[in-house]
Amino acid sequence: MSLILLLLTSCSDHTLIHEKVITEENYYSNMSIFPDSLNFGSVAHSNLEKESFYITNTGNASFNIEQIDFNIFGNFEYNYIGNMTLEEGDSAEVEILYSPDADQVNFGQIIFMSDADNEQEAERWFAGQGLAPRISITPDIIDFGSVRLNCETEVDIEIKNIGSLELEIDGSTLFSSSPNNFILDNNNSINGSFDWDLDPGESLNISVTYDPTDIVSDSGEIRVASNDPQNSRQSVFLSGSSFYTDTNTDSFIQFYSNMSDVIIVVDNSGSMSRFHNNLSSNINNFINQYLSYNINFRIGIITTDSAFFDYNYVDNSTQSVSSYLSNWILNIGTNGSGTETGLGSLYRSFNFGSAQIMSRSNSNLAIIFISDEPDHSISPWGWYASYLDSLPQYNGSIIAHAVIGDYPNGCTLPNPNGSSTNAQFGAGYYEIANYYGGTVFSICSEDWGIQLSNLGALSVPQSSFTLTKDAVEGSITVKVDGTSTNNWSYDSSSNSVVFHQGMEPADGSSVEITYGMDIPCE
């Protein structure tokens, strides 16, 4: 603004007017920001785009950028390029960097705080659309509820790309509590093998089936791997439980007179030499079990082609029982018939052979078959089982075990010279051992000591009680003389309750076993 002063002075005849201009300049800072906003448009995830705001001092006095606030929703960053103090005509650049990581709209706000005369606080907005694949799994929590035992129920699972770029499914994996009662079906016949590629909006289905085999609650998780940048491992959580509809109670009377008759049926064909040696070397482990239980025993040996003992049977009065039996076994020889008839020999031995002489009334009967081939007797195993059940002296107190070739294809035992010995599956012996609730051991085992020790323990007072119906594991309760006990385990292979060694019910005890029945789903 100018102030004009007129000074009037007089000189001679004339009056002279002098004009003096004094200027007082106004200093003013002005912050200008361009543009008003930034729009990044569509940007694929992991790509980087840059846009800038420009701050210019259009005034004639300096100002300071005192503070910058950056408020964002999304993957934005900023760089301030320039001085924080802007003189007249100076500019600074504020670079906004955008690298989206999801399929969504992102936006933000930047606020400049200054001491400029025209504007102390200026805000500017910016936005962008992130492009990315995005996985959606429906449902992501599956509770099958309570399902009847052994009944399957299936749920479909939809996998969909709700994003804006192609979704790649790399695989799916099922994790489960043990035992696993869930079945994952990737529908490969329809979906093809991995990887699966889904365009935006496209979907496919997989399924999971729950088939409970016990009454223990189950849990699991399906993990689906994809290229979704936000959720590369999407989970579907599974749970379920089961119930059974019917129960059954089996009642037994533990009967034994502390007497046990043992018939060992040994294959004496040409391939049995090595197995005779194993049996002979470890028979003491078998006898020790009888001695430890103070059993009144009689033990005799027949072969698969002879119903008669080569020696007198042994009993508690026999001196050096183990040595006696060991020598007996070694002298059996391997010149017997190649058509092994162990069940037939046993029948003949009780009908007119040595077992008829050795057997005692009110005794338990333990039968042990040892062979590397199946039984070739004339009648099927069931016929011989019926005959044994009819023997009045044992009143059904019978157990049978087998040391045979493995089910179902036999087994092979390596020899020291590099060759091998093959044992065929012991059909016939296998079935009759299971029928009487006994145990099947592998003739190819390297450790006959443990096997014969176990055979001895399993052949003394009854420890195993075979159930009349298929039982649901986990549902079984056992009472001895009306008192609940936990001194037992369940053998699912034989569907039997087996009392722990030394915890067998006493003679004359009542054994009551109640359990849920494993009834097939209709």
**DSSP for 196-242?**
EEE-TT-EEEEEEEE---SSS-EEEEEEEEE--TT-SEEEEEEEEEE
Q: What is the pLDDT of residue 453?
A: 62
Per-residue pLDDT at 399 exceeds 70: yes
Please, are residues 80 and 92 in contact by the beta-carbon 8 Å criterion? yes
Please, are residues 380 and 413 in contact by the beta-carbon 8 Å criterion? no
Per-residue pLDDT at 372 exceeds 60: yes
More confident residue, 468 or 103: 103
More confident residue, 183 or 290: 183
Q: What is the pLDDT of residue 256?
A: 59
Among 135-139, 403-407, 444-448, the least confident range: 444-448
Residue 362's alpha-carbon distances to 397, 401, 504, in angstroms, are: 9, 21, 19
Q: Provide mean pLDDT across the span 220-234.
A: 94
Q: What is the pLDDT of residue 149?
A: 83
Q: Which of 386, 395, 482 is nearest to 431 (CA)?
A: 386
Question: Phi and psi at residue 147, in whole multiples of 5°?
Answer: -115, 140
Q: Name the DSSP class of 494.
A: T
State percent of the chain over pLDDT 70.
91
Q: Which of 319, 248, 266 is nearest to 470 (CA)?
A: 248
Look over the chain and give the mean of its residue pLDDT values, rounded to a whole number.
87
More confident residue, 347 or 24: 347
Position 140, amino acid:
D
Q: What is the pLDDT of residue 12?
A: 41
Q: What is the pLDDT of residue 305?
A: 94
Q: Provide mean pLDDT across the span 141-161.
A: 92
Cis-peptide, bond into residue 179, ω within 30° of zero = yes
Confidence of residue 396 (pLDDT cuts 50, 70, 90): low
Gap between the Cα atoms of 116 and 86, Å rounded? 10
Per-residue pLDDT at 483 exceeds 60: yes
The pairing of beta strand 203-210 with beta strand 141-148? unpaired
Q: Provide mean pLDDT across the span 19-48.
A: 82
Q: Tokens in use for 166?
A: 């192609």
More confident residue, 492 or 219: 219
CA end-to-end span of the chain? 105
More confident residue, 102 or 416: 102
Gap between the Cα atoms of 499 and 511, Å rounded? 11
The pairing of beta strand 398-404 with beta strand 440-442? parallel
Whether the model pTM is above 0.85: no
**Burial profile 249-282: b = 16 or more Cβ within 10 angstroms, e = fewer:** ebebebbbeebbbbbbbbbbbebbeebbebbbeb
Q: Give Dmax (Cα) for the chain.
A: 180
Per-residue pLDDT at 519 exceeds 80: no
Gap between the Cα atoms of 376 and 380, Å rounded? 9
Residue 194's alpha-carbon distances to 187, 198, 226, in angstroms, are: 11, 12, 11
Q: Provide mean pLDDT across the span 448-461.
A: 62
Q: Provide mean pLDDT across the span 166-191.
A: 93
Q: Tokens in use for 168?
A: 């790649």
Q: What is the pLDDT of residue 99?
A: 93
Q: What is the pLDDT of residue 19?
A: 44
Per-residue pLDDT at 21 exceeds 60: no
Q: Name the DSSP class of 89.
A: T
Gap between the Cα atoms of 44 and 161, Å rounded? 16
Q: Name the DSSP class of 471.
A: B
More confident residue, 222 or 421: 222
Per-residue pLDDT at 309 exceeds 70: yes
Q: Provide mean pLDDT across the span 281-291.
A: 82
Confidence of residue 374 (pLDDT cuts 50, 70, 90): very high
- Return the beta strands (E) in 280-358 as ranges: 296-303, 314-315
Q: What is the pLDDT of residue 205?
A: 96
Per-residue pLDDT at 8 exceeds 60: no
Confidence of residue 420 (pLDDT cuts 50, 70, 90): confident
Residue reference for tokens 């699966």 = 196
Q: What is the pLDDT of residue 502?
A: 75
Q: Provide mean pLDDT across the span 285-293.
A: 77
- How many alpha carbons fall within 13 Å on the CB side of residue 364? 23
Q: Provide mean pLDDT across the span 260-271.
A: 93
Q: Tokens in use for 89?
A: 């005509």
Gap between the Cα atoms of 106 and 39, Å rounded? 10
Q: Which of 27, 20, 25, 28 is nearest to 4 (CA)?
A: 20
Please, are residues 202 and 105 in contact by the beta-carbon 8 Å criterion? no
Gap between the Cα atoms of 68 and 122, Å rounded? 10
Per-residue pLDDT at 2 exceeds 80: no
Q: Indicate the SS3 state at residue 52.
A: strand
Q: Provide mean pLDDT across the span 206-217.
A: 90
Position 501, amino acid:
Q
Query: Which domains, and CATH codes, for the chain?
Result: 31-131 (2.60.40.10), 135-243 (2.60.40.10), 259-462 (3.40.50.410)
Torsion of CA 464, 465, 468, 472, to 10 degrees: -70
Q: Which of 237, 305, 226 is nearest to 265 (CA)?
A: 305
Confidence of residue 458 (pLDDT cuts 50, 70, 90): low
More confident residue, 267 or 21: 267
Q: What is the pLDDT of residue 456?
A: 62
Q: What is the pLDDT of residue 264?
A: 95
Q: Provide mean pLDDT across the span 191-208.
A: 94
Q: Indicate the SS3 state at residue 344.
A: helix
Gap between the Cα atoms of 460 and 294, Å rounded? 10
Per-residue pLDDT at 16 exceeds 60: no
Q: Tokens in use for 496?
A: 């039997």
- How many alpha carbons fall within 13 Å on the CB side of residue 72? 16
More confident residue, 106 or 437: 106
